């Protein structure tokens, strides 16, 4: 019996947890550990300076789940370090409300939980639906997540990569296919808005809408915009290998030699 950890950075209240757990039940035993509240944008944060609580609860469909006062990454760490009796064979983070595309994945609590799976040598999937709002159908994304899960569990998957999946908010028969993509670019019209609180002290809102630009073919942004499911393999090594060689050519003017060991 395979063990699958499901978490969701939107928190234990997310209505995506039950459909995803349902779909994944065909692949193994599903364990749910999710944060008590919404941690979207939490990235790869962990709790260091206070203890973590983890309480049993039930989803609306009666399914057993656990909720923590920690981050999405904390959920994976708890599970892997012994809260679950068996180390998970697979981590599935999602289904997130809202796409996680391009540069945005550096902010994403959804992708970070999958990264934590990778750091624990567990095959991991981050999965998101490209829409917000109350009445989203998480069925197609959940079914696709289960399809990937079955493939990863049956055929194995490299321990240094995860799959970042974005699914259009459409019925399964209206989705225009599946594309394996690279990360694209996503820009925002971010603004700093300063306002005054009732005591005359300034406070700030930072944010703004995503700007629609021409997306390069082959990117996750373009695939999702074209109504396709985007699957991007992600590695955690952020090293810029070209820059290693260029830095070797700098005049460092430093008393000890500057070593360039990478090829
Ligand atoms: Mn989220």
CA of 257 to the centre of ligand 1 (A): 46
> Can you read off the two tokens belonging to residue 202?
């300034």
CA of 154 to the centre of ligand 1 (A): 29
Residue 100 forms part of a structural domain: yes
* Count of the separate structural domains present in the chain: 1
Residue 238 forms part of a structural domain: yes
For residue 48, give its domain range: 3-185+215-248
Residue 112 forms part of a structural domain: yes
CA of 92 to the centre of ligand 1 (A): 13
Residue 81 forms part of a structural domain: yes
CA of 180 to the centre of ligand 1 (A): 22
pLDDT at site 263: 59
- 8 Å CB contact between 38 and 71: no
Residue 190 forms part of a structural domain: no
C-alpha distances in angstroms, 3 versus 56, 90, 91, 149? 18, 7, 9, 11
The CATH code of the domain that includes 62 is 3.40.1210.10
Residue 244 forms part of a structural domain: yes
CA of 107 to the centre of ligand 1 (A): 10
Bond before 95 cis per omega within 30 degrees: yes
Residues of the chain scoring pLDDT < 50: none
CA of 1 to the centre of ligand 1 (A): 29
CA of 132 to the centre of ligand 1 (A): 10
CA of 261 to the centre of ligand 1 (A): 39
pLDDT at site 262: 63
Residue 257 forms part of a structural domain: no
List pLDDT tens digits, range 135-159: 999 999 999 999 999 999 999 999 8
Residue 12 forms part of a structural domain: yes
What's the pTM? 0.94
CA of 72 to the centre of ligand 1 (A): 10
CA of 8 to the centre of ligand 1 (A): 7
> Can you read off the two tokens belonging to residue 232?
């991007």
């Amino acid at each position: 019996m395979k063990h699958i950890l499901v978490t969701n950075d939107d928190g234990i209240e997310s209505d995506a947890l039950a459909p995803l757990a349902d779909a994944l039940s065909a692949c193994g035993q599903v364990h749910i550990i999710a944060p008590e509240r919404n941690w979207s944008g939490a990235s790869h944060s962990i709790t260091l300076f206070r203890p973590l609580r983890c309480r049993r609860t039930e989803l609306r469909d009666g399914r057993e789940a656990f909720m923590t006062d920690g981050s999405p990454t904390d959920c994976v760490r708890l599970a892997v370090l012994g809260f679950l009796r068996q180390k998970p064979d697979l981590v599935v983070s999602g289904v997130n409300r809202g796409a996680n595309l391009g540069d945005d994945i550096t902010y994403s609590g959804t992708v970070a939980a999958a990264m934590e799976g990778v750091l624990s040598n567990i095959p991991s999937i981050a999965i998101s639906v490209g829409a917000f709002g109350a009445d989203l159908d998480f069925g197609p994304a959940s079914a696709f997540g289960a399809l990937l899960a079955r493939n990863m569990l049956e055929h194995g998957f490299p321990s240094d990569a995860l799959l970042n999946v974005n699914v259009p908010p459409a019925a399964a028969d209206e989705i225009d296919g599946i594309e394996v993509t690279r990360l694209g670019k996503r820009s925002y019209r971010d603004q700093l808005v300063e306002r005054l609180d009732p005591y005359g002290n300034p406070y700030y809102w930072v944010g703004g809408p995503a700007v629609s630009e021409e997306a390069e073919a082959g990117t996750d942004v373009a695939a999702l915009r074209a109504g396709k499911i985007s699957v991007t393999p992600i590695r955690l090594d952020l090293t810029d290998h070209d820059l290693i060689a260029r830095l070797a050519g700098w005049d460092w003017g430093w008393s000890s030699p500057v070593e360039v060991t990478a090829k």
